[in-house]
Amino acid sequence: MLLPRLGLPLATALSFSAAATTAAFAADSAAPLPTRITVDVAHPGHAVSPLLHGIFFEDINYGADGGLYAELVQNRSFEHDDNLFSWAGVRRGGAGGTMTVETENPLNAKNPHYVRLAVTAPGKGFGLANSGFGGIALKANENYFFSVRARGDIPLKAVLEDETGRPLGECALAAPGAQWKELEGTIRGTAVARNARLVVLATAAGHADLDVVSLFPEHTWKNRRNGLRADLVQMLADMHPAFMRFPGGCIVEGKDLLNRYQWKDTIGDIADRPQNWNRWQDAVRQTAPNYYQTYGLGFLEYFQLCEDIGAEPLPIINCGMACQFQSKELVPLTQIDPFVQDALDLIEFANGPVTSTWGAKRAALGHPEPFHMKMIGVGNEQWGEEYFERYPIFYKAIKAKYPDMQIVTGAGPGVDAGDEARWKLAWDKFKSGTPADIVDEHFYRSPQWFLDNVNRYDTQDRNGPKVFAGEFAAHDGRAKKNTLRAAIAEAAIMTGFVRNSDVVTMTSYAPLFAKEGAWQWNPDLIWFDNAHVYGSPSYHVQALFSRNRPDVVLPTTVSPLPAAGNAAAKPSVYVVAGLDRKTGETILDVVNATDREVAADVELRGIARLAPEAKAIVLTSASADDENSLDTPDKVAPREETAKTSGSGLSHRFPANSLTILRLRSL
Ligand code: AHR
């Protein structure tokens, strides 16, 4: 029985079809738009993919260096093209000497540059200062671990200073001697500072060679050395992501092949990891000159992060192709074997026994247990015959050695407009015998496109490869801001993902992170500066869907049925329902993409009676233009309410521009 009936006819048929779950309305009055939502609890449909909601990480927008990776020193190894980028010489009170960049007899071949201090008089301080990634943010009473690879005959000290030069803590280091040696010290931060710098000073005359100058807070995620920012990881953990795709994105491809991501460069001692120029530095926004990848956040750290947050690892490897928008460089087929071997070695690194070559390396790095990696991506968003000449070689070699490994295949950078032919070629290949397990589709389109495409997978071939919506985001207007409007459009398509999750088995928004004032691409899921982090409205949509993923889909109808014509172009409501078998709750995701409140009678068929109170988690705001920011991080944030039920249903008001998750328990 329902609470006050709205006088609408019940839908005559129950269906999984998206057409039946979309209601369009004419927005010609301020009165709530009436409808009825009917859920058939007695006839559950297909299982919802347990991998449906994941995350996609790439070092774009300072996502890794200067972001998730907690290193506070920028250009710690002096390997940027401007070797002293982010560094400044310091000469105080009678000090004298020279500071030069040298390459003779370096720390190692992968790290060829270092700084030499030749000090004639230490005065009140001779050395160099690092300004971090747009300043160093310090906490009071936090320990900071300083380290440096050094050689020479002078003792050193490392000092934290605020922008006025006020010291906020220091540590002393004995002269290292003639051979390269790692010196370590702990600095107790004495005050909060937003724009501090690290100053390394010689305290006597003589010489010192310095490399890999590093500073980490003690409290990283799980307090790991060479660790990650705890607040940023917490944001990821809170999403309960089922998988994590890494390390990109375009950086996997590289501007050219030399610049491609090579996972073997990213493991072991940080001093042995060569720096690589980040191709995002010259991208859309010119905010990142000298943006480099230190690979301090490398493949061991990625796998560990996945393990920590319960996400299946999905590494993507280069398939012998550089970015097809840039150099278009290709590895000749006769020279592709080392690329294939890299993929096979990666699987062994992740999963192999400690007696295997790469399993032994993993064990030597402190992780003897395998990571149980089950998926690998071959290429990022590659397209064309060049890709389909290369990718099957990887597929065959991987399956021959690891038959259970699921392989993610690219389908180009988009699915329509200028990308349609590339996307179509890929699917034609799969239909005509090119093997594929999971196909990665990307869409960065307008909010309206998202609404228009809620049903795009309803007609997907159920016998073909699975789909991974691996990169998507609604780009709202020319400014592409992280508006509530964009988030609601994404929520709408997510209802289609859930409803079709027998074939759309994985999804992830992109990009994941962006640093305020230092980004190349927007919109993004999570924004941060050196001291704070907040989720965009889109973040809340992703987290809400992920945290409320049902186990099976339930047939659902929305009545009145859509108007004839281009219904999706009109303000719309989108619903998907499912069952949480663990709690026995029915979960409804209701997206009201209209500018009007919707008043709905919700009826659950096949249950006797609901518990008198249901949980409603609502994401909305006063205007569809609303965004979150550092100043107003929770302007658009979910709030939890109690909804009263009656019999087997409830009457509920769904605010304009909202996502509501209803959790209903039957007695
Ligand atoms: O997410 C940003 C970029 O978009 C990714 O690196 C690439 O795969 C896509 O073009």
The reply to whether 531 falls in a domain is: no
Atom of ligand 1 nearest to the CA of 58: 6
DSSP letters along 173-223, please? E---EEEEEEEEEEEE--S-EEEEEEEEEE-SSEEEEEEEEEEEES--GGG
Ligand 1 center to 606 CA (angstroms): 45
Number of the ligand 1 atom closest to the C-alpha atom of 511: 1
Gap between the Cα atoms of 128 and 159, Å rounded = 11
Q: Is 412 in the pocket of ligand 1 (CB under 6 A)?
A: no
Residues 422 and 289 occupy one common structural domain:
yes
Distances in Å between the Cα of 234 and the Cα atoms of 238, 240, 305, 510 are 6, 10, 11, 18
Q: Which of 245, 250, 423 to mutate to test the pocket of ligand 1 (most atoms within 8 A of CB)?
A: 250
Ligand 1 contacts CB of residue 470 (under 6 A):
no
Q: Examine the domain organization and report whether 241 and 313 are in the same domain.
A: yes
Phi, psi (deg, nearest 5) at residue 510: -150, 155
Burial group, residue 389, by CB count within 10 angstroms (0-12, 13-18, 19+): middle
Ligand 1 in reach of 454 Cβ (< 6 A):
no
Q: Which of 62, 120, 126 is nearest to 90 (CA)?
A: 126
Q: Provide the phi-psi class of 329: left if phi over 0, else alpha when psi is between -120 and 50, else beta.
A: beta
Considering the domain boundaries, does residue 613 fall inside one?
yes
Strands of 347-491 (E only): list them. 375-378, 406-410, 438-445, 466-474
Whether residue 308 lies inside any domain: the answer is yes
pLDDT of residue 20: 38
- Nearest atom within ligand 1 for CA of residue 251: 6
Bin 645: left if φ > 0, else alpha if -120 < ψ < 50, else beta: beta
C-alpha 57 to ligand 1 mean position (Å): 10
Instruction: Give the distance (Å) from ligand 1 centre to CA of residue 472.
Output: 9
Which of 445, 472, 498 is a domain's end point? 445
Residue 556, SS3 per DSSP = strand
How far is it, in rounded angstroms, from Cα 407 to Cα 400? 12
Return the structure tokens found at 76.
């710690």
* Residue 511 maps to a domain: no
- What is the residue with the minimal CA distance to atom 2 of ligand 1? 511
Q: Give the domain extent around 104.
A: 87-217
Instruction: Say if pTM beats, i.e. exceeds, 0.85.
Output: yes
Indicate if ligand 1 lies below 6 Å from the C-beta of 491: no
Q: How far is Cα 23 from Cα 55, in angstroms, rounded to an integer?
A: 30
pLDDT for the residue numbered 239: 98
On whether both 300 and 349 belong to a single domain, the answer is yes
Give yes or no: residues 429 and 313 share one domain: yes
Whether residue 234 is found in the same domain as residue 293: yes
CA of 543 to the centre of ligand 1 (A): 21
The protein residue with its alpha carbon nearest to ligand 1, atom 8, reads 249
Residues 6 or more apart whose Cβ sits within 8 Å of residue 99: 89, 115, 116, 117, 118, 127, 128
Q: Which of 174, 196, 217 is the last residue of a domain?
A: 217
Q: Is residue 534 part of a domain?
A: no
Q: Do 340 and 371 fall within a single domain?
A: yes
pLDDT beneath 70: ranges in the chain: 1-30, 282-289, 561-571
* pLDDT recorded at residue 31: 80
29 Cα–ligand 1 center, Å: 41
Q: Is 510 in the pocket of ligand 1 (CB under 6 A)?
A: yes
CATH number for the domain spanning 596: value is 2.60.40.1180
Say if 180 falls within a structural domain: yes
Which ligand 1 atom lies nearest to the CA of residue 521?
A: 2
Q: Which atom of ligand 1 is nearest to the CA of 250?
A: 6
Ligand 1 pocket mutation, candidates 381, 387, 415, criterion most atoms within 8 A of CB = 381
**Would you say the CB of residue 413 lies under 6 angstroms from ligand 1?**
yes
DSSP strands (E only) in 449-541: 466-474, 504-509, 513-515, 526-528, 533-535
381 part of the active site:
yes
- Regarding the beta carbon of 58 and ligand 1, being less than 6 Å apart is answered yes
Q: Are 160 and 236 within one domain?
A: no
Same domain, 151 and 269: no
Eight-state DSSP code of residue 561: P
In this structure, the answer to whether residues 212 and 230 fall within a common structural domain is no
User: Residue 501 CB: number of other CB atoms within 10 A?
Assistant: 28
Residue nearest to atom 6 of ligand 1 (CA): 249
We report the CATH number of the domain holding residue 129 as 2.60.120.260
Domain count within the chain: 3
**CB-based contact 601:588 (threshold 8 Å):** no
Ligand 1 contacts CB of residue 97 (under 6 A): no
* Six-digit token string for 405: 């490994």
Looking from the CA of residue 248, the nearest atom of ligand 1 is: 6
Q: Are 365 and 268 in contact (CB under 8 A)?
A: yes
Residue of 381, 441, 471, 490 marked catalytic:
381
Q: Do 160 and 144 share a structural domain?
A: yes
**381 in contact with ligand 1, CB cutoff 6 A:** yes
Would the CB of 250 count as within 6 Å of ligand 1?
yes
Closest atom of ligand 1 to 249 CA is 6
Contact 59 CB / ligand 1 (< 6 Å): no
In a domain, 93, yes or no: yes
Of 388, 418, 445, the position where a domain reaches its end is 445
Q: For ligand 1, say whether the CB of 380 is within 6 Å of any of its atoms.
A: yes
Mutate which of 55, 56, 57, 58 for ligand 1? The one with the most ligand atoms within 8 Å of its CB, which is 58
- C-alpha closest to that of 116 among 145, 71, 78, 85: 78
If asked whether residues 435 and 292 sit together in one domain, one would say yes
CA-CA-CA-CA dihedral for 395, 473, 527, 323, to nearest 10? 40
The per-residue pLDDT of the chain, averaged, comes to: 93
Q: The CATH number of the domain where 353 resides is what?
A: 3.20.20.80
What is the whole-number distance in angstroms between the Cα of residue 14 and the centre of ligand 1?
A: 39
In-domain check, residue 22:
no
Do 173 and 232 lie in a common domain? no
